Structures are given as C-alpha cells and as structure tokens.
Amino acid sequence: SQQGEEDPQALSIQEGENATMNCSYKTSINNLQWYRQNSGRGLVHLILIRSNEREKHSGRLRVTLDTSKKSSSLLITASRAADTASYFCATDANDYKLSFGAGTTVTVRA
Amino acid sequence: EPEVTQTPSHQVTQMGQEVILRCVPISNHLYFYWYRQILGQKVEFLVSFYNNEISEKSEIFDDQFSVERPDGSNFTLKIRSTKLEDSAMYFCASIPQGRTGELFFGEGSRLTVL
C-alpha cells in the first residue's frame, strides 16, 4: 500500500508556536497533498507538492518532500487557535486516487 | 467561491435499506470521486467517475454500491442494502478538467446504519 502515515498522532502546542508533523509513504508518487479537517467537517486542501519538488511554501505553511526517504513534513508557523484541526497527508500515485494517512490532531492552546 | 455541496448532511437508516447520497460538484469540474471515512479511521477512496462512467473503484466498492450522474449537475452514490459497517462519513470530491492539483471536497454526508 502507498498510504501515508502521519506522525505524531496528536500534537498540543501554545498559540504562536510552530507545529511540525511528518508523513511517510511506501511507493512512488506523482504528488503529495496535505489536507485539514475541522471536527465533523469536510477536507480542505492546503498544499500540493509534486514529486520533483523538494519544498513549497504557502502563507504560514511549509511543506518538504524527500522522495528518497519517502517522507514529507508540514510545518505551520506562528500557530493560531483556528489551526486546531486534524491534518492529513494524501499521496497520489495515479489519477487523484488519493491514499490518506490516519492524520495528526493538532490542538493549539490560547 | 464555488463549492461542492452534499445532501443529506446526516441520514439514519435501518440495516438493509437503500440509501442515496447526493452531490453537486463544482460546475466546470469533470472528474468526480467518492471517499468515505469511518469514525476514527482513515479517509478511503471508493470510486472515481469521468465521462459518465467509472474510471476506477476500490475493493470497498462492491456490488451494493453504484454511482450515477443522472443529469448535468448531480452525482449520486447509492448503497443498495446497507450494512452496519457502512456507517461512515461519505465525501464527494471533484476536480476541474486541467487536473492541476487539489481535490475539492464537500462537507460530507454522515450515514448511520442501525
């Protein structure tokens, strides 16, 4: 299976701190995507990084991809209470048939 | 901003009953997907749909499941005879013709099978 696996499962940080979560996967990919899910809500796309890219930024988000290690990281800088959510990595090896990891639950304390 | 809309937001049904979950993808999108998320578990791919036919389906998508695009806007998932283990959030997603990146997900339909 090429499913992404996130680490840690849960993360609790103070507002203003950075949050880092990691994702590992097993097989070759076209791209890797990160999604956010607020409790009981839908999935919101955050950022996509292609297999030939190593780093990408979007606002307070920074994503890295190491295809040799089959791993990715998502960094959220200067976290806010509104960042409290579950974060999922999803790998795309074929035609947007995404394989999601189990997610990292991030709690940002005010 | 255009969005994928799903109805119903929550449906409770008895085991063995048929359920239809509806999705209205974003209007200029051409590729459609259903995913599901059993409570506390991973989001799982069910099926992809393009040009009025299934492109790919997972092992989960067995004969009790079907998808249809009955008109130019709706995209439906039918579960013919629901089982307890079908209880989950079902997410519809779509992407535009260019397929340059993100999937646009709806808010989901929560199905509870009693």
pLDDT digits (tens, 9 = 90+) for A22-46: 999 998 999 999 999 998 888 999 9
Please report the sign of the dihedral spanned by the C-alpha atoms of residue B2, residue A61, residue A35, residue A19: negative
Minimum distance, in Å, between the CA of residue A15 and any CA atom of chain B: 26
Name the residue among B42, B91, B93 with its Cβ closest to that of A102: B42
Assess whether pLDDT exceeds 50 at residue A1.
no
Confidence label for B96 from pLDDT (cuts 50, 70 and 90): confident
Segment B98-106 mean pLDDT = 81
According to DSSP, the β-strands at A104-109 and A10-14 are parallel
Per CB-CB distance under 8 Å, the chain A contacts of B95 are: 96
Q: What is the pLDDT of residue B28?
A: 84
Q: Between β-strands B43-50 and B29-37, what pairing exists: parallel, antiparallel or unpaired?
A: antiparallel
Q: Specify whether the CB–CB gap between B31 and B99 falls below 8 A.
A: yes
Q: Hey, of A37, A92, A97, A104, which one would you mutate to test binding to chain B, going by the most B CBs within 10 A of its CB? A: A97
**Cβ–Cβ below 8 Å for A96 and B31:** yes
pLDDT at A96 over 80: no
Q: How many CB atoms lie within 10 A of CB A87?
A: 22
* Cα distances (Å, whole numbers) of residue B75 to A57, B12, B24, B34, B60: 34, 20, 6, 10, 19
Position A20 pLDDT exceeds 90: yes
Strands A31-37 and A43-50, by their bridges, are: antiparallel
Nearest to B69 by CA among B41, B34, B37, B105: B34
B-chain CB neighbours of A99 within 8 Å are 45
DSSP β-bridge partners for residue A89: A34
Where are the alpha helices (H) located in B43-105, listed in sequence order?
A: none
The pLDDT value given to residue B99? 67
Over pLDDT 70: what percentage of chain B?
Answer: 97
Minimal Cβ distance to A96: which of B33, B58, B107: B33
Q: Which residues pair with B54 in a beta bridge?
A: B49
> What pLDDT score does B83 carry?
96
Per CB-CB distance under 8 Å, the chain A contacts of B43 are: 43, 88, 90, 98, 100
Counting beta carbons within 10 angstroms of the beta carbon of residue A92, is it exposed (0 to 12), middle (13 to 18) or buried (19 or more)?
Answer: buried
| Residue A3 pLDDT level (bands cut at 50, 70, 90) | low
Is pLDDT above 70 for B43?
yes
Sheet with A5-7, strands from edge to edge, namely A5-7, A19-24, A71-76, A61-66, A55-58
Contact B95 A98 (CB under 8 A): no
Nearest CA-CA distance, residue B70 and chain A, Å: 23
Chain A residues whose CB is inside 8 A of the B48 CB are 95-97
The dihedral of CA A14, A20, A23, A24: what is its sign? Answer: negative
- Quote the percentage of chain A above a pLDDT of 90: 78
Task: Answer yes or no: are the C-beta atoms of B37 and B44 closer than 8 Å.
Answer: yes
Predicted pLDDT at B87 = 97
What is the mean predicted confidence (pLDDT) over B53-80? 92
Q: Taking CB atoms and an 8 Å cut-off, how many pairs form between chains A and B?
A: 56
Q: What is the pLDDT of residues A60-84, one digit of tens each?
A: 999 999 999 999 999 999 999 999 9
Average pLDDT, chain A: 92
Nearest C-alpha in B relative to A96: B103
